Amino acid sequence: MQNKLPKPIRPDNDDCCGGGGCCPCVWDTYFNALDLWEEQDAKEKALADKDETD
């Protein structure tokens, strides 16, 4: 893949204020980025597996 997303770095626990008022929260941003990265990673692994079986 040309534009491979880097694996997101988990925020430190104290990066979140814990107040629930931030939109988006650092955790929202992290988990959204992690979801995208995991999806991309799964696609890459599936393509690699397909290439190995061909």
**How many other C-beta atoms are found inside a 10 Å radius of the C-beta of residue 17?**
10
Task: Kindly tell me if the per-residue pLDDT of 2 is higher than 70.
Answer: no
**Residue-wise pLDDT tens digits, 29-42:** 999 999 999 999 99
Whether the Cβ atoms of residue 8 and residue 34 lie closer than 8 Å to each other: yes
Q: What is the pTM of this model?
A: 0.81
State how far the Cα of 54 lies from the Cα of 52, in Å rounded to an integer: 6
**Residue-wise pLDDT tens digits, 11-34:** 999 999 999 999 999 999 999 999
